[in-house]
Homo-oligomer: A and B are copies of this chain.
Amino acid sequence: MRTTSVGVFRIATTGPGDVSGLMDLIVSGAIDPNSILAILGKTEGNGGVNDFTREYAVAALCTALAPKLGLSAPDVEQRIAFVMSGGTEGVLSPHITVFTRSEAERPAGLSGKRLSIGMAHTRDFLPEELGRAAQIAETAKAVQTAMADAGINDPADVHFVQIKCPLLTSERVAAANARGNTTATTSAYSSMAYSRGASALGVAVALGEIGSDLGDEDVLRRYDLFSKVASTSSGIELMHNVVIVLGNSGASVSACVIGHAVMEDAIDASAVLSALNSVGLGAAPQTTAGRTLVNIFAKAEASPDGTVRGFRHTMLEDTDISATRHARAAVGGLIAGLAGTGAIYVSGGAEHQGPAGGGPVAAIARLSD
């Protein structure tokens, strides 16, 4: 039976254009550039429409990796899945997480399911399809393709599905209008939420968390419909969805395992502890021997009803700071406190990703065995 080894490397960056940490690991032989499948990053922009740190980080990585891979920079971008989540508010610390995958023999004595990764992408969307049923359905198909790629059959083994999805710009709205179509919204900022929401619903459909009979009108309205493992980020630099499935698989011989929990609201410390516990870790300073935290992946959002456990929050009414920045800062502060580090992946905009106001939280630990 074919088995794969999946590696995970968290690398701090000094700026969106900093590729030195990854290059060092390649030069030292710790990372084989040909094995890189995906790079998830937190960059220090505003996480909004005009956050160019995401695009800049991808450009810098592609330029740096191109000679290592014998490819042009654009071809590197086609080969590796780059998901840059903008916004390192509060204690969050800019970094990238590099996922590698290669064929490997199963070591004697290694048993159980280990971290696995799989990828797929949808076709390009029209602007008028974003945030609507078409995006849901195409995403669901891509999730199933990515699960197969990861060697995962049981949806219960899927612990995090990261999706990168498009947003609307003035130009894209105009293009749709020119075709006689309207878009889900005319606001670029709002379109990010629509695209994230429809993509998350696609994950939920694929994993059987909800039924598949969804319409345009369910997006950003039926908040009782959600995925417990979806994490979606929108960016200006693409028109299709990129899907990355993370889970545990018997076909993987990785040194890592992944688990998850669901934050019921933005202050759900218990869920963060559950996610740590699910991979054998406790709260910082960690006392568990033999296991090391690699990274935490979580989504954050301002609860749409304007309250957290009965108390009013002001994130949605703040015209100076976008709600996604507020939410990342707050949830990032909580998770960093429990994890003992701000170098974690907390991404904003959790529409249909976990219950309203909450979101999924996944943890990856490295086993010393």
* Chain A residues within CB distance 8 Å of chain B: 12, 14-17, 44-53, 55-56, 59-60, 63, 88-95, 169-171, 174, 182, 186-190, 220-221, 266-270, 272, 283-285, 304-306, 308-309, 311-322, 325-327, 329-334, 336-338, 340-343
Cβ-closest 10 pairs across A and B? A48-B319, A90-B330, A330-B333, A170-B306, A329-B329, A333-B333, A93-B311, A269-B337, A334-B337, A56-B56
A56: chain B residues at CB < 8 Å are 16-17, 52-53, 55-56, 59
**Given A305-B170, A317-B49, A318-B50, do A330 and B17 touch, yes or no (CB 8 Å)?**
no
Report which of B47, B284, B316, B343 forms a contact with A319, defined as CB distance below 8 A: B47
Q: Which residues of B contact A334 (CB under 8 A)?
A: 333-334, 336-337
Question: A56-B16, A90-B329, A333-B334 known; A169 and B269 CB under 8 Å?
Answer: no
Least CB separation from A73: chain B residue: B63
Contact A12 B220 (CB under 8 A): no
Chain B contacts for A59, CB-based, 8 A: 17, 56, 59-60
Q: Which residues of B contact A341 (CB under 8 A)?
A: 267, 309, 311
B17, B91, B272, B308: the one contacting A267 at CB < 8 Å is B91
Shortest CB-to-CB span from A131 to chain B, Å, is 13
B337 touching A337, Cβ below 8 Å: yes
Beyond A90-B329, A187-B187, 13 additional pairs, beta carbon < 8 A: A12-B311, A15-B52, A16-B52, A48-B318, A52-B53, A90-B331, A170-B305, A174-B305, A174-B306, A268-B337, A311-B341, A320-B321, A332-B333
**Given A89-B330, A320-B46, are A308 and B342 neighbors across the interface (CB < 8 Å)?**
yes
> With A and B bound together, what is the CA distance between A355 and B325 in angstroms?
27
The answer to whether A50 touches B337, judged by C-beta atoms less than 8 angstroms apart, is: no
- Contact present for A267 and B333 (CB under 8 Å): yes
The residue of chain B having its C-beta at the shortest distance from the C-beta of A15 within the complex is B52
| Bound-state Cα–Cα, A114 to B343, Å | 41
> What residues of B have a CB within 8 angstroms of the CB of A93 in the complex?
308, 311-314
Most-contacted residue by chain B among A94, A186, A321 (CB, 10 A): A321
Residues of B within 8 A of A333 (CB): 90, 266-267, 329-334
Return A282 CB to nearest CB of chain B, in Å. 12
Chain B residues within an 8 Å CB radius of A327:
90
In whole angstroms, how far apart are the Cα atoms of A183 and B16 in the complex? 26
Task: Report whether A342 and B91 are in contact in the complex, using a CB–CB cutoff of 8 Å.
Answer: no
Contact B267 A342 (CB under 8 A): yes
Measured in the bound complex, the distance between the Cα atoms of B52 and A327 in whole Å is: 22
CB distance from A150 to the nearest CB of B (A): 29
Query: Whole-angstrom distance between the alpha carbons of A17 and B170 in the complex?
Result: 18
